[in-house]
Amino acid sequence: MKVITQSVNFTADKDLIVFVNKKVESLEKFHDKIVDAEVYLKVQKTSEKENKVSELKLNIPGHDLMVKKESKTFEEGISLCVDSMKRQLTKIKEKERELQN
């Protein structure tokens, strides 16, 4: 799976990119037809501590799935996005199985 990571309003370091790729690639266990993943990491200019926005978009044949989370760190945000995406992928798999039966 191809993972495209874009950072907005800051420059992401290598460790963060490696972390994002590893987490997002773990989603392949839940759906075998993922074409690619787009990750957007944004820093909002606010006084709140939870100013880091993580967006994860998966392209699957017939579906475009999107998750957006705000958190204190990008690592936490990506983890939340991946957990949420796992639930979505599991639901899609169950629906596909029901249609086949």
pTM: 0.90
Name the residue ranges covered by the structural domains of the chain. Answer: 2-100
Q: Rounded mean pLDDT of 85-99?
A: 90
- State which fold the 2-100 domain adopts: Double Stranded RNA Binding Domain (3.30.160)
The confidence band for 18, taking pLDDT boundaries of 50, 70 and 90, is very high
Hey, what long-range contacts does 18-22 have (CB within 8 A, 24 or more apart)? 19/75, 19/78, 20/74, 20/78
**59-73 pLDDT, tens per residue?**
998 889 999 999 999
How does the average pLDDT of the chain come out, rounded? 92
**25-43 pLDDT, tens per residue?**
999 999 888 999 999 999 9
